[in-house]
Amino acid sequence: MEKEQLLPSNLKETIKKSDNYLFIFIPGEEQAKINILPIGSLNIKKILIKLEKFSPDLVKGISEVLIELGLNDNLIHTTGLCFSKNRECYYETYVDLGKSDVNEFKEENIKENFLEVNRVIDLCIINITKDSCS
């Protein structure tokens, strides 16, 4: 059986409006989601935070750290995911470091700040490049 792709007819025209896009694939148990986001530069970092579980206080704590580090104005996308099979939860945020003046991006300082938030287990920072998906 041949698979069909149902895409909006204006998708190609819309994509032509920006030079660079970030495609974010969000897996699900029965479906998947793809976000296509215009980006201003190619200096993109993904901050992936492993959590014990979600709570309003946790999200508030993460938001406060993003503001404290001066990253809140440079956010491209944030989302939280929990996988029922292995009960793991993650919060991920994508930051465009080329958009404006950002305090020097020191990974160790960022990790240290996020690990102080209650229910944050671990964190990794991933450099997103044009070749990340090849």
Query: What pLDDT, on the 0 to 100 scale, is given for residue 1?
Result: 63
Q: Which backbone phi and psi does 13 adopt, to 5 degrees? A: -65, -40
Q: What is the pTM of this model?
A: 0.79
Count of structural domains within the chain: 1
Q: What mean pLDDT is predicted for residues 71-96?
A: 87
Residue 124 in domain: yes
Query: What pLDDT, on the 0 to 100 scale, is given for residue 134?
Result: 42
Tell me the average pLDDT of the chain. Answer: 84
The CATH number given to whatever domain includes residue 115 is 3.30.70.260
Residue 109 in domain: yes
Asked whether the CA dihedral 58, 62, 67, 68 is positive or negative, the reply is positive
Domain that holds residue 62: 41-128
Residue 17 in domain: no
Model confidence pLDDT, tens digit, residues 8-66: 777 777 777 788 889 888 877 788 888 888 888 888 999 999 999 888 999 999 999 99
Residue 101 binned pLDDT confidence (cut-offs 50, 70, 90): low
